Structure 1
Amino acid sequence: MDDNIIKIPDSEKTLTAGKLFYNWFAANIGIMGFVFGAMIVSYHLSFFQAIIASLVGALSFAIPGWVAMIGQKEGVTTFKLSRAAYGTHGNKIPNAIAWFNMIGWLAVNVITGTLLLVSLFSIINVKKSSVTTAVALLIFGGLVVLSGLLKEDTLAKIQTWLSWIFGILTVLILVLFLLKAKWQEAFSLPSGSWITGVLPAVSIVAAGSGISWSMAAADWGAYVTKKTKPSATFWNTTMGGAVPLFVLMAGGVLLSTIEPSLATTGDPFGVMYSALPTWIGPIYFLVAAGGLIPQCIISFRSARINLATIGINVTQRTSLMIHGAIVLAIPIYVLFISGNFLSNFELFLNFLGICLASWVAIFLCDSVMFRSQGYDVALLENDSKTHFNWRGIISWILATTTGFLFTNNAIWNGPFAHGIFRNNSLGVFVSAIIAIICMLLWKVAVPNKKVA
């Protein structure tokens, strides 16, 4: 899409609320939802607490729903809208971070999909080798890159079919897991702490779902037909992501009673495979790999939009070549050279979650507090006179920095990452809360001043 065009032309607004639902449903029907559920249980929660954490975490998809609704009302994609809150130049920092995040998760999904295809090959007696790995990468990575040639309406139709196909197969696998689940053991799990257990569990799910996907939401909402009610856009985006995610996480909670190692293993797909009858092995790996494709489609599409919004204007073919090369180069490095890259790369992406939590909090606060009459298109133009909106920039820097101070992991130890903030992703929530507080202070400090 031409970056000089701010509002999407009415002729290109072809998505309905139902297509939005299928789009987000397809992106969240993947088997990784089971792993999220097992991770929740790892916080030593009771069955009831784990289900509550799953529900609240899944409902974080209200954030993308809200962003999509704004995108539909204005007919503008996510990071062009974000220019109002940060200024055209100031917006490039979170915009670039979002691009890195999209590309990063896209590469992780392509790597995972490739490994799943290799496992599928082994089931049909094709031994693992460099050749079979290369073939699997070309198949999976090629499908993702080719999706960049398709228009929004076509992608929506593909997502609809993927929702039905992989949704039905995933439900089949879910039923098999539930039949083997140790229900009595699940119901007898002792209760954990609501503060140090449930809250961090919710933060993990929210960081990996609602907050991460918020940066792509208006990229789809902007293409919704004008006759669609904004409330329909909100609810179909929210429930499209939340429903499958919650159901699968609840299944993961029960699955953890069969395979307690699921939350900590380096090969969650292999652990889940071991809990299934051998006859469903090929279907399982096909569903696991296929469930990643919708996520890749969304990430790939929004990455291309973000690159243009940053100001790197290239043709669609050049953009496709750039992103395609990156999407294939990172997996080639991981699969054939490094081997230890994936865990460190996912760690890097967790850092980006803190940056994006503060970004979306400021974006939504700015929309509510200062854009009640709609967005001034002049603020969204490439040559806008408002290069830096310091209200948003300062709030983002303060919030993001504070989030890091309350975060620790294998390579970073924040000075305030103690107690309930130790060894979890609560820094994401801290970042969002500080961002909201900063924006409220701005609103109180200049209540009547005309703002950019």
Structure 2
Amino acid sequence: MATSTDSEVTGRSSGALETRGIEPVPLDERTGRPSQLFWVWFAANISILGLPLGATLVAVQGLTVWQAVLVAAVGSVGSFAIVGAVSIAGRRGGAPGLTLSRAVFGARGNIGPTAVSLISRLGWETVNTTTAAFALLSLATILFGTSPVAKQHPVLTVVCIAVFELCTVLVSGLGHAVLVAVQRWATWVFGLLNLIVGGFLIATISWAAVASARPAPVGAMLAGVGVIAAGTGIGWANASADIARYQARGVRAGALVLSAAAGAGIPLVLLISLGSMLAAGDPTLAAAGDPVAAIRAMLPSWMAVPYLLAAFGGLLLSNHLSVYSAGLTTLTLGLRMPRVYAVVVDVVVTFLGSIYFILVADGFYTPFIAFISMLAVPITAWVGVFSCDMLRRRDYDPVALMDTGRTSGYWYLAGIRPAAVIAWAVAIVVGYLFTTAGPSDGAWFTGSLADTWLGRNGLGWVITFVIAFGGYAALGGTRSAAVAGSTAAPK
């Protein structure tokens, strides 16, 4: 029998350190409450990356501020409602999302979705780390008078990256219990700092520009919803069960959806709306190579230190959750090591990626937008298949989840479940036909149907979801899901 390592199968929490890997959490240890998830999602979304996202809605999509506020609400709250819905599987099965995905795609068929998820997590962590390093470099400029240009101080830049990564490992490496506690209490500290900084940023808004802007067509608003959804909730959907696996079995599904939608939606709507207001008078924020420095320039000089601390803290809280999830996804992909070592491996990868973005690459934000546009398609395809499967599946076989060999109850056909893999692959191909990634004057990728109404309005991810969900159902996925986990432990 091909199973995970002993550290994964027998892992438990030892004091503050969570030694459990990807194996399902026993029922007697599932005592979590939705309020815990509210704070986890709130903390993960108070980073300053929401400001340039809001700026994009005005400067690139051409929306008015009031349209941007509506788009922010629909895109962020709606996409995190999907995150909450997917987290229901974590409560049911007690295992990480991509581990549960083995029941849907098969022991081997799940490798593709898991690899995409890991790339997504590593990409977001690189974005967080790069932005946080910019914040520390700006802080060094204030304290030591160094140049804010990273390439002029490569050693200092590497030190800044290392400091952020070390702070991340201290929490993500310890695991679930520490993560939940830190996310809750740190939210109050860094949330308050963000409110103070936001108050000063509001004073710089050009209200005349806000009032004089002309409304954009509905199509531009739909495209904006796609940008916000791809840049916020969609990227977290395949990580949602990782934290929800500790939720009590009696927790209502609606409470999980609400905790994610409200927890993430409140800070995101505020930050994205503020970013759109700032861009109404100064659209350069949307294209800033260093968004940290661009926002700092809008503040009084004496506010620089509180602002940079708020920026660093918000990014750190987001990275805690992302790295924790990436560690579990790495184990699901097949690396045989304790969970804490998997966290270290992921951090090393993002450390090197951040060095590239800061010291080698010429731009930052444009690659970021292209990155989330491209990964939104396969992730949305996975969400479509997985959520359709959830309609009938109520339990997961804990033994089959950990067995990736021929004896697994989720081996299906040569380790692959055709209905799921085919629906996922077809949805990706169709989704990319409607996708454009990169700047309008030099796109890196343009699908053959990107110039259609659906493509121009950024609705490729919606098409992807419909194809994945409908294709899986049409191929009989939901019918087989009702019996695929028949050997699961009782509720």
TM-score by length of 1: 0.92
Residues 70-109 of structure 1 correspond to what in structure 2 (within 5 A)?
A: 70-109=89-128
Kept in 2: contact 1:87–1:379 (CA 8 A): no
TM-superposed deviation, 1:266: 2.1
- Per mean C-alpha deviation after superposition, the further-off stretch among 316-325 and 66-75 is 316-325
**SS at 2:141 equivalent:** helix
* Alignment-derived partner of residue 434 in structure 1: 467
**SS at 2:203 equivalent:** helix
Residues 112-156 of structure 1 show CA distances to partners (whole Å, capped at 9, x for unaligned) of 211210011101233142232232122112112232331311111
**SS at 1:279 equivalent:** helix
**SS at 1:291 equivalent:** helix
Kept in 2: contact 1:15–1:156 (CA 8 A): no
TM-superposed deviation, 1:34: 1.6
1:192 aligns with 2:216: yes
TM-superposed deviation, 1:274: 1.9
TM-superposed deviation, 1:434: 1.6
**In structure 2, do the counterparts of structure 1 residues 191 and 249 end up closer, same or farther at CA, with 3 Å as the change threshold?**
same
Kept in 1: contact 2:87–2:240 (CA 8 A): yes
Q: What is the alpha-carbon distance in structure 2 between the residues aligned to residue 441 and residue 422 of structure 1?
A: 25
Q: Which runs of 5+ in 2 are unaligned?
A: 1-6, 11-21, 148-152, 438-442, 485-491
Residues 387-420 of structure 1 show CA distances to partners (whole Å, capped at 9, x for unaligned) of 2111110000110001111112322221111043
Kept in 2: contact 1:22–1:159 (CA 8 A): yes
**In structure 2, do the counterparts of structure 1 residues 3 and 428 end up closer, same or farther at CA, with 3 Å as the change threshold?**
farther
Kept in 2: contact 1:354–1:428 (CA 8 A): yes
Question: What amino acid maps onto 1:194 in structure 2?
Answer: V
From 79, 103, 120, the counterpart of 2:139: 120
1:110 aligns with 2:129: yes
* Alignment-derived partner of residue 67 in structure 2: 49
Q: What is the alpha-carbon distance in structure 2 between the residues aligned to residue 265 and residue 332 of structure 1?
A: 18
1:164 aligns with 2:188: yes
TM-superposed deviation, 1:374: 3.2
Residues 262-281 of structure 1 correspond to what in structure 2 (within 5 A)?
A: 262-281=285-304
* Alignment-derived partner of residue 2 in structure 1: 8
* Alignment-derived partner of residue 15 in structure 2: none
* Alignment-derived partner of residue 395 in structure 1: 423
Identity %: 30
Q: What is the alpha-carbon distance in structure 1 between the residues aligned to residue 266 and residue 102 of structure 2?
A: 32
Q: What is the alpha-carbon distance in structure 2 between the residues aligned to residue 351 and residue 167 of structure 1?
A: 31
Q: What is the alpha-carbon distance in structure 1 between the residues aligned to residue 202 and residue 172 of structure 2?
A: 37
From 225, 237, 246, the counterpart of 2:260: 237
* Alignment-derived partner of residue 433 in structure 2: 405
**In structure 2, do the counterparts of structure 1 residues 379 and 367 end up closer, same or farther at CA, with 3 Å as the change threshold?**
farther
Q: Which runs of 5+ in 1 are unaligned?
A: none
Question: What amino acid maps onto 1:16 in structure 2?
Answer: R
TM-superposed deviation, 1:353: 1.6
1:287 aligns with 2:306: no
1:180 aligns with 2:204: yes
**SS at 1:256 equivalent:** helix
Residues 27-66 of structure 1 correspond to what in structure 2 (within 5 A)?
A: 27-42=44-59, 43-59=61-77, 60-66=79-85
* Alignment-derived partner of residue 375 in structure 1: 396
* Alignment-derived partner of residue 326 in structure 1: 349
Q: What is the alpha-carbon distance in structure 1 between the residues aligned to residue 72 and residue 306 of structure 2?
A: 26
**In structure 2, do the counterparts of structure 1 residues 131 and 323 end up closer, same or farther at CA, with 3 Å as the change threshold?**
same
Q: What is the alpha-carbon distance in structure 2 between the residues aligned to residue 77 and residue 92 of structure 1?
A: 14
Kept in 2: contact 1:408–1:424 (CA 8 A): no
Q: Which protein is richer in helix relative to its size? A: 1
- Per mean C-alpha deviation after superposition, the further-off stretch among 346-355 and 250-259 is 346-355
Q: What is the alpha-carbon distance in structure 2 between the residues aligned to residue 21 and residue 414 of structure 1?
A: 37
TM-superposed deviation, 1:236: 1.2
Aligned CA-pair RMSD: 2.5
**In structure 2, do the counterparts of structure 1 residues 299 and 412 end up closer, same or farther at CA, with 3 Å as the change threshold?**
same
TM-superposed deviation, 1:323: 2.1
Question: What amino acid maps onto 1:433 in structure 2?
Answer: V
* Alignment-derived partner of residue 162 in structure 2: 138
Q: What is the alpha-carbon distance in structure 1 between the residues aligned to residue 105 and residue 204 of structure 2?
A: 51
TM-superposed deviation, 1:343: 4.6
**In structure 2, do the counterparts of structure 1 residues 106 and 367 end up closer, same or farther at CA, with 3 Å as the change threshold?**
same
Q: What is the alpha-carbon distance in structure 2 between the residues aligned to residue 183 and residue 299 of structure 1?
A: 36
Question: What amino acid maps onto 2:126 in structure 1?
Answer: A
Q: What is the alpha-carbon distance in structure 2 between the residues aligned to residue 246 and residue 238 of structure 1?
A: 11
Kept in 2: contact 1:258–1:275 (CA 8 A): no
**In structure 2, do the counterparts of structure 1 residues 12 and 326 end up closer, same or farther at CA, with 3 Å as the change threshold?**
farther
**In structure 2, do the counterparts of structure 1 residues 426 and 269 end up closer, same or farther at CA, with 3 Å as the change threshold?**
farther
Kept in 1: contact 2:65–2:280 (CA 8 A): no
- Per mean C-alpha deviation after superposition, the further-off stretch among 113-122 and 227-236 is 227-236
TM-superposed deviation, 1:296: 0.9
Q: What is the alpha-carbon distance in structure 2 between the residues aligned to residue 269 and residue 390 of structure 1?
A: 46
**In structure 2, do the counterparts of structure 1 residues 336 and 170 end up closer, same or farther at CA, with 3 Å as the change threshold?**
same
TM-superposed deviation, 1:170: 0.9
TM-superposed deviation, 1:230: 3.5
**SS at 2:354 equivalent:** helix
Aligned residues: 448
Question: What amino acid maps onto 1:434 in structure 2?
Answer: I
TM-score by length of 2: 0.85
Residues 164-219 of structure 1 show CA distances to partners (whole Å, capped at 9, x for unaligned) of 11111111122222233233432332121112x01110001101111101111100
Kept in 2: contact 1:359–1:396 (CA 8 A): yes
Q: What is the alpha-carbon distance in structure 2 between the residues aligned to residue 3 and residue 96 of structure 1?
A: 22
- Per mean C-alpha deviation after superposition, the further-off stretch among 337-346 and 14-23 is 337-346
